[in-house]
Amino acid sequence: MSLRFAPGDAVRVRRAFPPGHVRTPFYTRGKTGEVASLAGHFRDPEELAYGRRGAIRPLYRVRFTQAELWGTAEAAGDDVVVDLFDHWLEPAHG
């Protein structure tokens, strides 16, 4: 399975609000972060929740600054790492 992103790539979480069971945190949508690592390949829990087979998708660990997510941070360098499936991510530039 080919990967669209590598550690260090800047990515943006899709700003989408589909109905139903969604595993992507609301506070990350539309925000830009950096791929920290690949967590592995897993069946899509959004599909599994409805009894479907679930496509196997790459799951990335994406690092966001707290300032990006909430507009402020307690200290410089404070960040949050969130596991996000490939289909929720797009290149941040381009």
CB-facing half-sphere around the CA of 25: CA atoms within 13 A = 11
Supply the range of the domain harboring residue 74.
10-91
Mean pLDDT of the chain: 89
The answer to whether residue 5 sits within a structural domain is no
Could you count the other beta carbons within 10 Å of the beta carbon of residue 78?
12
Q: What is the pLDDT of residues 35-69, one digit of tens each?
A: 999 999 988 877 777 777 878 899 999 999 998 99
* Tally of domains in the chain: 1
The answer to whether residue 26 sits within a structural domain is yes
User: 62: domain CATH number?
Assistant: 2.30.30.50
Whole-prediction pTM value?
A: 0.88
